[in-house]
Structure 1
Amino acid sequence: MASYIEFTFDHSNELVELLIEHIELVLQTLVFALPLGILLGVFIAYYQPAAVTVLWGAGVAMTIPSLALFGLLIPILGIGNPPVIVALVLYAQLPIIRNTYIGLTSVDQSIIEAGRGVGMTKWQRLYKLQIPIALPVMIAGIRNAIVILIGVATVGAYVGAGGLGFYIFTGIYQANVEMVVVTTIVVSLLALVFDYGFKSIEQILQLRNGEEIPLTWGAKLLTRALP
C-alpha cells in the first residue's frame, strides 16, 4: 500500500495531466456522439420500421473489439485522437439511441393527444412535451455511454491518443505494478464521479416530472442551487 501512495505523490503532476487529457477525449467524443445518438433515437421513435435495424447496427458496433476497430480506422484517419474519437462515438451510440427511443415512445399517449388538441405541431409536441418527459430516461442512457467511453478511451493510448491509458500501457510494458494499479483506480474513480453526477441530474429531472424518489446527496445540492 505504501508503494502505491508513494507512486501517486511522486507522479501526481503527470496523473493530473493525463486525467485532463482523458476527460478532454471523452468530452470531444460526446460533442459528436450525443447529437448523433439523440437524432437517431428521435428518428426511430417516429419511424418505427427502422428501429430494429438502427438498434441492431448500434449493438453490432459495440461488439467490435476496440483494437480491431482502431486498426480499421488508422489507415483512413491516421493515429492519435481522430480514430479513437470515431470509434468511441460508435461505442456510445447504443445506450444513447436506445434510451432516447424508449423515453420518447414511453410518453403517455394522452399527453401527446392533449398537445395535438391545443394545436401543437409534431415538432412542438416533441420538444415541448415528449423530450422533457423523456429526459430522465435519456440521461440514464448518457450515463451508461459515458462510463463506457471512460473505460474504452484507455485503450486509445495504444494508438497514440494519450489519456490515462498511456500510464496503463507503459506500466504493463515496464512491469510497473504501481503505475498500472494507481492509474486503473483513477480511471474507475473518474467513471464513478461522472456516473454519480449524471445520476443526480437524472433524479432532478424525475423530480421535476412529478416522480417521488429518494435523492442522492448530489441531487439534493443541485435542487437547492437550481431555480
Structure 2
Amino acid sequence: MSEFIEFILERHSDILTVIWEHLYISFIAVIAGFIVAIPIGILLTRMTSISTIVIGMVNIIQTIPTLALLGFMIPLIGIGTFPAIVALFLYSILPMLQNTYTGIRGVDPAMVEAAKGMGMTDFQILFKVEIPMSISLIMGGFRTATIYTISWATLASLIGGGGLGYLVFTGLTINNKSMLLAGAISAALLAVLADFFTRRIQKLATPKGLRN
C-alpha cells in the first residue's frame, strides 16, 4: 500500500493528464453518439418498416470485439485520439438508439390518439407527448452509453488514443502493480462518478409526475 501511495504522490500530474485524456475521448464519443442516435431513433419510430434492419446493423457493430474494431480503425484512419473516438462513438450509439426507439414506441397509443383529437400536429405530439413520456428511458440509454464508453476507453491507449489504459497496460508490461492499480482504480471511479451524475441528469430530465 505504501508503494501505491508513493506512486500516486510522485506521478500525480501524469495521472491527472491521462484521466483528462480518458474523460475527453469518452465525452466526445458519447456526445457525438447522442447527437446521431437520438434523431435516428426518433426517425425510426416513423419508419418502422426499416427499423429492424437499422437496429440490427447497429447491433452487429456492438458485437464486434473492441480490440478488433480498434485494430480495424488503424488501416482506415491511422492511430491516435481520433480513431479511438470514432470506435467509441460507434459503440455508444446502440443503447441510446434502442432506448429512444423503444421509449417512444412504448408510449400509450391512447394518449397519442387523444393528442391527435386535440388537433396537435405530429411535431407537437412528438415534443409534447412522446418525448416527455419516454425521456426517462431515453436518458437511461445515455447513462448506459456513458458508463460503457468510459470502461471501453481504457483500450484506446492500444492505438495511441491515450487515457487510463496507458497506466493499466504499461503497468502490466513492466510488472508495476502500483501503476496498474492507479489506472484500474481511476477508471472504476470515473465509471462510478459517471453513473451518479448521469442518473441525476436522467432524474432532472424526467417530468416530476413520471419519476420513480
Global fold match (TM > 0.5): yes
Could you say which residue in structure 2 is the equivalent of 1:50?
A: 50
Unmatched segments (≥5 aa) in structure 1: 214-227
Could you say which residue in structure 2 is the equivalent of 1:98?
A: 98
Could you say which residue in structure 1 is the equivalent of 2:186?
A: 186
Could you say which residue in structure 1 is the equivalent of 2:120?
A: 120
Indicate the percent of aligned positions where both proteins have the same amino acid.
Answer: 33
CA distance in 1, matches of 2:210, 2:5: 44
Kindly indicate whether structure 1 or structure 2 has the higher relative contact order, using CA contacts under 8 Å at least 6 residues apart: 2
Matched AA of 1:130: E
Partner SS for 1:50: helix
1:141 aligns with 2:141: yes
Could you say which residue in structure 2 is the equivalent of 1:22?
A: 22
Q: CA deviation at 1:212?
A: 5.3
CA distance in 2, matches of 1:160, 1:124: 46
State TM-score, norm by structure 1: 0.88
CA distance in 2, matches of 1:188, 1:209: 31
Partner SS for 2:210: coil
CA distance in 2, matches of 1:92, 1:164: 19
Kept in 2, the 8 Å contact 1:133–1:209? The answer is no
CA distance in 1, matches of 2:208, 2:58: 29
CA distance in 2, matches of 1:161, 1:79: 7
Could you say which residue in structure 2 is the equivalent of 1:210?
A: 209
Q: CA deviation at 1:159?
A: 0.6
CA distance in 2, matches of 1:41, 1:165: 32
Matched AA of 1:41: G
Matched AA of 1:147: I
Matched AA of 1:155: L
CA distance in 2, matches of 1:104, 1:209: 18
Could you say which residue in structure 1 is the equivalent of 2:176?
A: 176
CA distance in 2, matches of 1:168, 1:212: 39
State TM-score, norm by structure 2: 0.93
Matched AA of 1:210: G
Could you say which residue in structure 2 is the equivalent of 1:40?
A: 40
Could you say which residue in structure 2 is the equivalent of 1:130?
A: 130
Unmatched segments (≥5 aa) in structure 2: none
Deviations along 1:85-136, whole A, 9 cap, x unmatched?
A: 1111111111111110111111122222222222221122112221122111
Question: Where do 4+ consecutive residues of structure 1 move more than 6 Å?
Answer: none
